[in-house]
Structure 1
Amino acid sequence: MSLKLYYDLMSQPSRAVYILLKKSNINFEPKYVDLRKGVHYTDEYSNNINRFKKVPVIDHNGFILTESVAIIRYLGRENLLPEALFPRADKVLNTRLDEFLEWQHLGLRAPLAMYFRVVMFSPDSEKIPSYQKRMETALDEFSTLWLGRGNQYILGDTATVADLLAACEVEQPRMTGYDCTANYPVIRDWMDRVRTHFNPHYAEASSIVEKIAAKRVPMKKPTAKL
């Protein structure tokens, strides 16, 4: 099997796919795409690898696939992922996984990613409070509607790819100085479990987050929430 991963660990979904491949003991050839240097905008990359000019991308025996969720579903359906991480046999659990994967695009990823982008690239924008409000609304919903049901993880008491994708999104605002776990004990405890489950690969992939977050001044936190 020949598998190449085009990635940059600054990218949340890149981290998720990278960790997943490592955790699943899948041999792959890492292909670093430096987003800060605009490598994803070059003709070579956009014409030959990803016409959407994004990461991650996999090349599996010549089959090129973009979009992290599509990549994860493909790896799962090809039986390259452990059943525990990508449930297939249990049709109900598999459908619940699909339910979360569909929700997280707009329910979690979009508001957290947009907050990160505006703070990092437009730090003086007067729109930051509105983006922060949207992000915190998403964290409220994630905490109560997905994690606040007495389970250890999103789909139950076993960690799956749903937890990995979500955790990588929750980490991203830390690079702006905002810790999403500080005011949400349920998310904080869940994050601790996810990190432990996917370590040492989680820590390896998140080292860039830790490095940048260490240089940021923590933002003032509101009253603790559930």
Structure 2
Amino acid sequence: MGLELYLDLLSQPCRAVYIFAKKNGIPFQLRTVELLKGQHYTDSFAQVNSLRKVPALKDGDFTLAESVAILLYLSRKYKTPDHWYPQDLRARARVDEYLSWQHTALRSCCTRALWQKMMFPVVLGQPVPQETLSSTLADLDSCLQLLEDRFLRDQDFITGSQISVADLMAIEELMHPVGAGCQVFENRPKLAKWRQRVEAVVGEDLFREAHTVILKVKDTPPLDPAVKELLHSVRSLLQ
């Protein structure tokens, strides 16, 4: 059995892994795990990833969880071009710095923006107080400013003149609130030009393909009652 990637393109880290593998010509079998159907909680998926999260990787009898670990595994095994995860100590440290920062900063506010603006009110029919959403959008704006000032600075990509896995992870976080209708790139020309550069490197067709699900999230069909109940139980974590 060859490489298998367990993904749901509704998930931002799954999109990053998918784009990375496709862009680098890495052969894999896509195993779709639909989060909104609760498929990550099944016993069969737990045999691949006992953490019950996507993305997950299975390479023969080897399994791996967590998006950053998966991206680095793929980059090393398939010897992808150096710019994705540079050998240069300082350039690599810049990638690591961004990846460490985003988990408690950009990911948090982008995920909350999607759920508070779209998933809870539109998909689940559970309105979110305006003050809660306003606070989240203010946090998002602050994170966007940090992304521009601290990480992009006056360079084309997060580590300099070439794209890296940091840029993939970053663009996927930002596409989450875009899917909810947030004008993330409006009035931010530096960020908008960076997105254009990332999309140009990835390729327009692949970029569009990877974002079909998130950009149509408002059209999500009715959810199973058990899944609705599960999502309701985690609502407090997303406010």
Q: TM-score, normalised by structure 1?
A: 0.87
The answer on whether the counterparts of 1:175 and 1:209 sit within 8 Å (CA) in structure 2 is yes
Q: Which residue of 1 aligns with 2:29?
A: 29
Shift of the alpha carbon at 1:193?
A: 0.7
- Alignment counterpart, residue 128 of structure 2, candidates 101, 125, 130: 125
The answer on whether the counterparts of 2:95 and 2:166 sit within 8 Å (CA) in structure 1 is yes
The answer on whether the counterparts of 2:7 and 2:56 sit within 8 Å (CA) in structure 1 is yes
Query: Given residue 210 of structure 2, which amino acid in structure 1 is its aligned partner?
Result: A
Shift of the alpha carbon at 1:207?
A: 1.8
Q: Which residue of 2 aligns with 1:224?
A: none
- Alignment counterpart, residue 160 of structure 2, candidates 156, 162, 173: 156
Structure-to-structure mapping, 1:103-118, within 5 angstroms: 103-118=101-116
Distance (whole Å) between structure 2 residues aligned to residue 44 and residue 86 of structure 1: 33
Shift of the alpha carbon at 1:196?
A: 1.0
| Structure 1: 5+ residue stretches without partners | 216-226
Partner of 1:5: helix, strand, or coil? strand
Partner of 2:91: helix, strand, or coil? helix
The answer on whether the counterparts of 2:177 and 2:184 sit within 8 Å (CA) in structure 1 is yes
Shift of the alpha carbon at 1:213?
A: 6.9
Distance (whole Å) between structure 2 residues aligned to residue 80 and residue 39 of structure 1: 32
Q: Which residue of 2 aligns with 1:66?
A: 65
The answer on whether the counterparts of 1:195 and 1:202 sit within 8 Å (CA) in structure 2 is yes
Distance (whole Å) between structure 1 residues aligned to residue 112 and residue 141 of structure 2: 12
Query: Given residue 92 of structure 1, which amino acid in structure 2 is its aligned partner?
Result: R
1:142 equivalent in alignment to 2:147:
yes
Shift of the alpha carbon at 1:164?
A: 0.8
Q: TM-score, normalised by structure 2?
A: 0.83
The answer on whether the counterparts of 1:7 and 1:30 sit within 8 Å (CA) in structure 2 is yes
Distance (whole Å) between structure 2 residues aligned to residue 80 and residue 202 of structure 1: 22
Distance (whole Å) between structure 2 residues aligned to residue 2 and residue 98 of structure 1: 29
The answer on whether the counterparts of 1:174 and 1:213 sit within 8 Å (CA) in structure 2 is no
Between 201-210 and 9-18, report the one with greater CA deviation: 201-210
Partner of 1:6: helix, strand, or coil? strand
CA displacement, residues 104-147 of structure 1 (integer Å, 9 cap, x when unaligned): 11121111112212223333211111111111111111122112
Structure-to-structure mapping, 1:198-209, within 5 angstroms: 198-199=202-203, 200-209=205-214
CA displacement, residues 23-51 of structure 1 (integer Å, 9 cap, x when unaligned): 111100110111121111112212x1122
Change (3 A) 1:163 1:213: farther
Q: Which residue of 2 aligns with 1:6?
A: 6
The answer on whether the counterparts of 1:40 and 1:53 sit within 8 Å (CA) in structure 2 is yes
- Identity of matched residues, %: 36
Aligned residues: 212
Partner of 1:84: helix, strand, or coil? helix
Distance (whole Å) between structure 1 residues aligned to residue 189 and residue 196 of structure 2: 11
The answer on whether the counterparts of 2:26 and 2:78 sit within 8 Å (CA) in structure 1 is no
Q: Which residue of 1 aligns with 2:226?
A: none
| Larger relative contact order (Cα-Cα within 8 Å, sequence gap ≥ 6) | 2
Change (3 A) 1:99 1:71: same
Distance (whole Å) between structure 1 residues aligned to residue 22 and residue 147 of structure 2: 26
The answer on whether the counterparts of 2:33 and 2:40 sit within 8 Å (CA) in structure 1 is yes
Query: Given residue 154 of structure 1, which amino acid in structure 2 is its aligned partner?
Result: I
Shift of the alpha carbon at 1:4?
A: 0.4
- Alignment counterpart, residue 187 of structure 2, candidates 183, 205, 218: 183
1:83 equivalent in alignment to 2:82:
yes
Shift of the alpha carbon at 1:208?
A: 2.0
